[in-house]
Structure 1
């Protein structure tokens, strides 16, 4: 649905993942399945961390925060897509669209900062194990997590204000499945130079580069500490404790690189949608899978809780 050229819009039309009629049902089923698995996997992590005493440590506290962020992020971006397939209503008001863009950016920034906090936790655990519980005490963990959430939601406020002030759009059709800032900039006929400059200076260097450096810097010290371990088994164990976190960092940053540091044009919007779908749907699904498949403590906790549940069902107390 086209609006008049060079005018503002009251609502946007979200085109979705695919325009092909024959693909509507399969895409809906696929997205719904990914959504259910991602929500279920992250809720499982949250329940395990909350219920199992062996997971009551800083590492899993931050993992629980990561799960909350993933549940929130996938819901913010995919809920309209799922509702649109059922109701047929693809319209989204201007305010709702800007709000969706804000929450998506805020949650992404908070997730990068939580990953940086997890990197700091691994540094203390490996480089200063004798003082680990004293340094990473519950108060410190809560302060770190709160700072990550607060900073993530505050630092994207200028982006949102500048985005909300764009008053001219060539069309109200968004070739995407949610209100992504890059797509909105492509559609806008307003002067977007200030917003683009802010995204490059603050968005890339502060929201992106700062948490990346804060994530990588501890690993420089971690690598040196691991290399000093005399036994191969000790080095393997130390590397293993970091492997899940490193995998998440690599996957997330590579996805964000392809999303926001590649040229923006109408011709590559379909590729942008695919990378966005991977970032918003597959990454939240990968997080619990990586930690459940690669982490022995999580697998052991899951077996214990399933055994407890089985015992309660088969041998209920009288």
Structure 2
């Protein structure tokens, strides 16, 4: 029987198809060679992750079960805390595994899912912070009309819209990234599936187009909310200057300034990472900036926005007192 040898064209086509579909698993390089500080780094991030989960879930619990915290401000804060919990859980456990074992891997499908969830939750958080700044603007600048403007219907609409926009607007970038071809290498120089390191591995000719689309789509998601928040806080600061009580002025100014620091850190890093072309990025700098909005911001959000508030402290003390009384009675 005569065996037909494949034509040269057949070989090249087969090789091309094989190369285009050869990368099914990505490998994370993580933080590089960190053997000397591997254990303390793992313990440090584990402690921070536990603190993030505990602090944010505490806020959700208190707002859900304490009638004294049933106000628009705390309702928005509880959703911000939920967003922080979900976002960090999407990335930090796998990051801990990468640190502990000196690397890790993820399937291409898993990588796209992680990218989509991260993008959706980051976008949702951006809109929630915008809504919260609007809420504070109304409460401080228009206190007499606050509850008539921020009624339950508007409260629910703004929150629902933030979540819906977050998950809908990220669909297009995620679909574009999922359409890329990866021919090798498969090593992601990061600790999660972020945009720039994933694009750097693609052999598809449309990476520049995708990068441009994502940069422009980041304008209404990152830049516009940031400008809006800065504008509302400027109005708030002008209103604070009119407060006759020096103590009240200092207290309100202290609260607003701490909010602005968190907001500027969060949006500033997002603007650098996602609105600056990837060619301008340095991998190590990119990892540090990512830690700011993945680890630092979720850690400080409950402290800055909630745990310093008198109402939160009172609600927490009330729950602890009830528990202590119950244990004594037993």
| TM-score, normalisation: structure 1 | 0.89
Q: Match of 1:153? A: 167
Change (3 A) 1:174 1:89: closer
Q: How does 1:82-93 map to 2 (within 5 A)?
A: 82-84=96-98, 90-93=104-107
Aligned 8 A contact 1:186 1:265 in 2: no
Change (3 A) 1:20 1:241: closer
Q: How does 1:23-42 map to 2 (within 5 A)?
A: 23-42=37-56
Give the aligned CA root-mean-square deviation in angstroms: 2.5
Q: Match of 1:49? A: 63
Shift of residue 216, structure 1, vs aligned partner: 2.4
1:288 matched to 2:295: no
Aligned 8 A contact 1:55 1:297 in 2: yes
Change (3 A) 1:169 1:32: farther
How many correspondences in the alignment?
312
Please identify the structure whose Cα radius of gyration is greater: 2
Deviates more, 1:239-248 or 1:6-15: 239-248
For each residue in 1:190-220, what CA deviation from the matched residue of structure 2 results, as whole angstroms up to 9, or x when unmatched? 22121111122111x1111121133223223
For each residue in 1:3-30, what CA deviation from the matched residue of structure 2 results, as whole angstroms up to 9, or x when unmatched? x997442111122234333433333222
4+ long deviations beyond 6 Å: 86-89
1:94 matched to 2:108: yes
For 1:234 and 1:103, how far apart are their aligned partners in 2? Answer: 41
Q: Match of 1:193? A: 208
Shift of residue 222, structure 1, vs aligned partner: 2.1
- Tell me the SS of whatever aligns to 1:229: coil
For 2:39 and 2:251, how far apart are their aligned partners in 1? Answer: 46
Deviates more, 1:191-200 or 1:96-105: 191-200
- Tell me the SS of whatever aligns to 1:274: helix
1:184 matched to 2:198: yes
Aligned equivalent of 1:245, options 259, 278, 293? 259
The structure with higher relative contact order (CA 8 Å, sep 6+) is 1
1:174 matched to 2:179: no
The runs of 5 or more residues in structure 2 that have no matched partner are 1-16
Q: How does 1:120-135 map to 2 (within 5 A)?
A: 120-135=134-149
Aligned 8 A contact 2:30 2:102 in 1: no
Shift of residue 136, structure 1, vs aligned partner: 1.2
- Tell me the SS of whatever aligns to 1:130: coil
- Tell me the SS of whatever aligns to 2:278: coil
Aligned 8 A contact 1:28 1:85 in 2: yes
| TM-score, normalisation: structure 2 | 0.86
Shift of residue 244, structure 1, vs aligned partner: 4.4
Q: Match of 1:67? A: 81
